[in-house]
Amino acid sequence: MKLVDGTVIAVHGPLVRVQIGDRTVVMASRRRLKWEGASPRSPRLVVGDRIVAEMAAEDGVVVAVRPRENSLCRAAPHSGRPQLLAANVDQALLVFAASRPEPKRGLLDRFLFACHASGIDAVIIINKSDLGRSELDDWLPVYENLGYEVFRVSARTGWGLGRVKRRLVGRTTLFCGPSGAGKSSLLNSVYPGFRLKVGSISDATGKGRHTTTRAELMPLPYGGFVVDTPGLKEFGVLDASDEDLARAFPEIAAFVSGCQFSDCSHVQEPGCAVKEAVERGDIDAGRFASYLNIREEESS
């Protein structure tokens, strides 16, 4: 018996696939798994977790989990319970398609919010730029003006991928976004060796078909790791504190001190500087809608 360190690269029900040095081992976990550090938001192993395994010959069992540096977490669609997408990532690439499927701003704002709340750098990737003009041309500049990095790319033609590749080197990067946005296609384009399965877009709904079914951590040949994930339809937020909201929506927070009431909810109070700014166009109406929506979900 000896103890070795490893990283979870995939979760298969109760079993995990763990990278230990240059080999991978599928193993179960001790029932009394030791969570080092603070108690975890979700006590289930997730891709990216750093673990300690007890090995005997070729077999192993997970006995402990190192403290998580960060984790991207959402409220699971039905139960509302914390569900982690991955742990210990350096950045998240939020992948949306210019069209097919149509990009949803509400979802983008929720991803951005969760990244802020977990301290994970977010980059906005607009894939399928080869499809031409899209409704997103009207609102994407809002995000560029807020200081987000926005990369327009095409996995199909290879356009813009150099920048993406440079951004991946030496880091652990989570790819997330709706089904059909082209996460797996992009990963295949930056490294064809991945040979990830790619789905089609339904002609009836214009949406993806949930081709990727589990998150997987994969090494890049030029250094760094990427995590491909299944497409997400919804992203329920957890623990949205006022500070988290202010950090994720700084352009709204900037006006709050001008409101007549110090506890203004910016919904129907008179003398609301936030609503006035929305009416003048100084705050983008779509962003304000996302802000209210996230806050409302949190208080419900």
Ligand X SMILES: Nc1nc2c(ncn2[C@@H]2O[C@H](COP(=O)(O)OP(=O)(O)OP(=O)(O)O)[C@@H](O)[C@H]2O)c(=O)[nH]1
Cα–Cα distance for residue pair 141/147, rounded to 1 Å: 10
Q: Which of 17, 183, 275, 287 binds ligand X (CB under 6 A)?
A: 183
User: Of the two residues 187 and 272, which places its CB atom closer to Zn ion in the complex?
Assistant: 272
Residue 185 contacts residue 198 (beta carbons within 8 Å): yes
Q: Quote the least distance from Cβ 280 to Zn ion, whole Å.
A: 14
Strand 15-20 versus strand 23-35 pairing type: antiparallel
For the chain, first and last CA: distance in Å?
Answer: 50
Q: Are 106 and 118 in contact (CB under 8 A)?
A: no
**Positions that interact with Zn ion (CB under 5 A):** 259, 264, 266, 272, 274
CA 254 vs. chain centroid, Å, equals 26
Q: Which of 107, 231, 255, 287 binds ligand X (CB under 6 A)?
A: 231
Measured CA to CA, the distance from residue 283 to residue 272 in angstroms comes to 13
Q: Name which position in 29, 129, 154, 184 contacts Mg ion (CB under 5 A).
A: 184
Question: CB under 5 to 8 A by kind: which of Zn ion, Mg ion, ligand X, none does 224 bind?
Answer: none
From the list 131, 169, 267, 285, which residue makes contact with ligand X (rule: CB under 6 A)? 131
Evaluate whether 89 touches 49 at the Cβ level (below 8 Å): no
Distance between CA atoms of 47 and 7, rounded to whole angstroms?
A: 8
Cα angle, residue 225 at apex, residues 97 and 130 outer, rounded to 5°: 20
The answer to whether 180 contacts ligand X (rule: CB under 6 A) is yes
Query: Which of the ranges 25-33, 175-183, 275-283, 292-300 carries the binding residues for Mg ion, by CB under 5 A?
Result: 175-183
Site size toward ligand X, by CB under 6 A: 25
Does 94 sit near ligand X (CB under 6 A)? no
41 binds, among Zn ion, ligand X, Mg ion, none (CB under 5 to 8 A by kind): none
* From Zn ion, ligand X, Mg ion, none, interface partner of 272 (C-beta below 5 to 8 A by class): Zn ion
Q: What are phi and psi of 152, to 5 degrees?
A: -95, 125
User: Of 82 and 180, which has the nearer Cβ to ligand X?
Assistant: 180
Cβ proximity to Zn ion: between 84 and 294 the closer is 294
Which is nearest to 227 in space by CA: 166, 184, 178, 181?
184
- Site residues for ligand X per CB under 6 A: 127-128, 130-131, 154-156, 179-185, 198-201, 208-212, 230-231
